[in-house]
Amino acid sequence: MVNSMVGRSPITIMPDEILPIILGFSLEPGAYNTSRIFRLIELSHVSRRWRVVLLDTPGMWSLVDLRYPTIGQVFCARCQTSPIRITYVQSESGYTARRVPTLAALEWLEPYVAQVEGIHVAASQTIMKNIMSLFGCAFPELHGLISGLDSGATIGPSMVVEFHAGRVCRTSADGISVVSFGEPRSIPQGLTRLALTRLRTRLSVAAVVAALERCPGLEELRVASAILQNLGPRAELEDHPIVRLPRLRFLEVGDSSPEVISSFLAHLSIPPTASISIHALTTQTLSAILPSDISELRSLTAVSYNGETITRALDISATALRIHNRTFHHLSSASFSLKPNRMPQILMNSLDVGSIFAHITSLRAISTNIGIFHPVIPEASWKALLSCLPLLTALEIGGPWAEHLLCALSRPISATSNLTPVQQDSLPCARLRCLRILVMSPDGPQTERLMVVLERYLSTRAELTGSLLESLHIGMHSGPARTAVSSMMEHLQRVTKEVYIHETY
């Protein structure tokens, strides 16, 4: 038996139960990617065994492209009772060549309509409305959803609608133009996922909020470039109630106007388990994109969850600030995507939103290089941020940012006049216990200068606090950097309880 297996490919002896799983991984990603259809046809012609195995796996044949009705009929028959996904993508080259499907042309689909779990249409809105209306009998909520769409022949808009138990549970609209939005009958109440992005006809904050009031079960919400820049009368916005979304797991908001983002967030109430992603490339301070009262944005303010204390970690890269909330497991996160050249000013204005940093216990700030995408962050910017981190106990730094950050740690807070007065000669982050440094430069003199700055900080800290740092971890490549660190080891060990050296690659 062993001899009979010599020279055979492992996939030829793969069990029939495992083979379709392996073949499924070879399909192009994307639930509505038409390439999956033709790839599946190719796989079914590789061998008789593969064809039999694939035909015995109905779920593999669940994607139907309305541009290819003959193939669609075959796939519907093969998928048996499995859920079906419908897709239609209009191409400019095929605009006149391919006829838009009509109800008469899709009679073959009628027996399978109840099995449809999702529809994806990327076409003009006239075609979009026509295709969606074909399924209106099975899913009445579709009529209300598409009633507000404007008619047009411009190619570009796309919409995804998904269903569960006969109800619309997900709507994603990109680049669409609307006549009306937010009318009670137009928004399905059972939505769990909603995405409004790059709308050609932007909506008012009030219209979006009114729509969200009908969707208390939302789990995912994306609103990007969808809200009017002119916010309208402030009184009208202030009178609108806050929308509570207790089941929300993910919120993404983006706009070129910080005021739009702030106004929209001011009308939301989200749980501490919801992750937030905010895209604000034009802002120079986080206070411009956050409402004055952030108490309802629990991902930024909650200190406990289900009786467990929430610990917060801050991760700074050249293009984003990320706050990670953890209990026993990862709970949620808040991410602010920013322009690299705005990062120094963002950090300088940290005091404006000091409350969101007040409970940070861990900070990671590593830059791989200095350039257009990795700006120099001056000592003053780090100083402003560190003054907002009174509970910081762990710090990980590396790259070109490390030297300025260590210098900021070495300066007593009282030496900076524009900060809130505190105890004379106190250092920022007095509770720091663990410091990790990643030495990324192979240059010996540069590494030696960094070690001198490090030793100066540790000595100042020991003198002012009367205690040594608990642990210092230094990661580096071998070569000149190791030589530079080794020459400072004796000095570092005098001002630190434990020093660890790690090889990095």
3-state secondary structure 298-337: HHHHCCEECCEECEEEEEECCCEEEEEEECCCEEEEEEEE
The percent of residues in the chain predicted with pLDDT above 70, rounded, is 88
Which stretch of DSSP H or E encloses residue 86?
strand 84-89
**Whether residue 101 sits in one domain with residue 33:** no
Give whole-number Cα distances, 58 to 11, 46, 55, 74, in Å: 21, 18, 7, 12
pLDDT-based confidence at residue 2 (cuts at 50, 70, 90): very low
**Whether residue 94 sits in one domain with residue 35:** no
- Number of structural domains the chain divides into: 2
- Mean pLDDT, rounded, for 13-18: 86
- Residue 95 pLDDT exceeds 60: no
**Whether residue 51 sits in one domain with residue 4:** yes
User: 206 versus 418: which is more confidently predicted?
Assistant: 206
pLDDT-based confidence at residue 197 (cuts at 50, 70, 90): very high
**The pLDDT value given to residue 117:** 95
Look at 35-39, 66-70, 83-87, 155-159 and tell me which has the smallest mean pLDDT: 155-159
CB 480 within 8 A of CB 464: no
- Residue 423 pLDDT exceeds 60: no
**Nearest C-alpha neighbor of 299 from the set 350, 259, 336:** 336
Of 154, 170, 186, which residue is a domain's last?
170
Token pair in block for residue 479 = 């070569």
Separation of alpha carbons 465 and 456, rounded Å: 14
Residue 56, classed as helix, strand or coil, is coil
Residue 215 belongs to some domain of the structure? no
**The pLDDT value given to residue 40:** 94
Q: pLDDT tens-digit profile of 439-497?
A: 887 777 888 899 999 999 999 999 888 889 999 999 987 677 788 888 889 999 999 99
Residue 36 belongs to some domain of the structure? yes
Look at 48-62, 243-257, 434-448 and tell me which has the smallest mean pLDDT: 434-448
pLDDT-based confidence at residue 350 (cuts at 50, 70, 90): very high
Residue 402 belongs to some domain of the structure? no
**The pLDDT value given to residue 4:** 47
Residue 27 belongs to some domain of the structure? yes
Residue 444 belongs to some domain of the structure? no
Domain span at residue 30? 1-61
**Nearest C-alpha neighbor of 32 from the set 116, 120, 117, 101:** 120
- Residue 236 pLDDT exceeds 70: no
The percent of residues in the chain predicted with pLDDT above 90, rounded, is 54
**The pLDDT value given to residue 505:** 57
Residue for token pair 């004796």: 490
Q: pLDDT tens-digit profile of 252-285?
A: 999 999 999 999 999 999 999 999 999 988 899 9
Residue 128 belongs to some domain of the structure? yes
- Residue 323 pLDDT exceeds 80: yes
CB 377 within 8 A of CB 347: yes
Residues 267-299, buried b or exposed e (16+ Cβ, 10 A)?
A: bbebbbbbbbbbbbeebbbbbbbbbeebebbbb
- Residue 190 pLDDT exceeds 90: no
Residues 323-359, buried b or exposed e (16+ Cβ, 10 A)?
A: bbbbbeeebbbbbbbbbbebbbebbbbbbebbebbeb
- Mean pLDDT, rounded, for 157-167: 90
**Whether residue 166 sits in one domain with residue 96:** yes
Residue 484 belongs to some domain of the structure? no
Look at 198-212, 296-310, 345-359 and tell me which has the smallest mean pLDDT: 198-212
Of 170, 187, 216, which residue is a domain's last?
170
pLDDT-based confidence at residue 370 (cuts at 50, 70, 90): low
Mean pLDDT, the chain, as a whole number? Answer: 86
pTM (two decimals): 0.84
**The pLDDT value given to residue 238:** 59
